[in-house]
Amino acid sequence: MADDLRRACVTLVTNDDFALGARALVRSLGHSGTGGDIVVMHTAGVGAEALRPLTDLGAILHPVDLLPTSDAFNARHARGALHGAAPFTKGTKPDFHTPLDNFAKLRLWQLPYDRVVFLDADTLVLRPIDRLFDYPEFCAAPNVYESVADFARMNSGVFTARPNPATFDRMLAMLDTPDVFWRRTDQTFLQAFFPDWHGLPVYDNMLQYVWFAMPDLWSWEHIRVLHFQYEKPWQDHAKADQLRPLIDLWRAYAGDGPIPDLADLPAPC
């Protein structure tokens, strides 16, 4: 990897709840030894008190606006309209999840970096992921958490990108067209924009439901990024008992104390 390349791990925070998640992510990146800057894009809806713990851990704050999408686009992708037209049937999104905000993720193509690894604020980095900076645009892991049938869809919680204002402009031109509906917001859009996306191993974006739905796929020895899709580990929710070892791990990163050795963590039942 060339030493003069500007590299960053980037996340997006759109409210105080996701700032809470981002603190655990930022701490996990530092603990993993992953190189490059840690950049937190944040919208105006995040309070200064919620952002301060991120800068205390060395993150660089980068304010971003929501995208300049049309009123009709915004109405179709508002929480009630989107969940009514394309309900989530496998898990529950928290009340603080605002689907329209997800599209602000595209702002990373405007960042002053050569190579970026994007990570959702509900992820933990358990091992170094520097190798991903050398991967091409666009790489993402499949959206696997229930069966191998899911391998055809990508998950946008972790991906590689090469920021470029021209790419961002092309994205905007494609994003907001008459009557378009991106069923899973940025995830559906990015798969359409990068139809020949390169697949990452599932261990670069291990979705939490694999713990109980596909336990034979779970391997603490290999997991590099753990992703708390659907319910968040800082919530009280119906699947908390099933996911208790994962939630306890997240709480260790979210706090200020020691991080457990991955080799000592239990295997799925």
| Strand order, beta sheet including 225-227 | 123-125, 225-227, 206-207
The reported pLDDT for the residue numbered 269 is 80
> Bridge-partner residues for 207, per DSSP?
227
Burial-class residue 93 by CB neighbours within 10 Å (0-12, 13-18, 19+): middle
- CA 176 → CA 65, 103, 117, 172, 173, distances in Å? 16, 11, 25, 7, 7
pLDDT digits (tens, 9 = 90+) for 210-236: 999 999 999 999 999 999 999 999 999
The reported pLDDT for the residue numbered 225 is 98
Segments making up each domain of the chain, as ranges: 7-264
The CATH architecture of the domain made up of 7-264 is: Alpha-Beta Complex (3.90)
pTM equals: 0.95
Block mean pLDDT (10 aa), the chain, length 269 = 83 96 98 98 95 97 97 91 74 72 97 98 98 98 92 95 98 95 94 97 98 97 97 94 97 96 94
> In the structure encoding, which two tokens stand for residue 135, read together?
């991967």
3-class DSSP assignment, residue 3 = coil
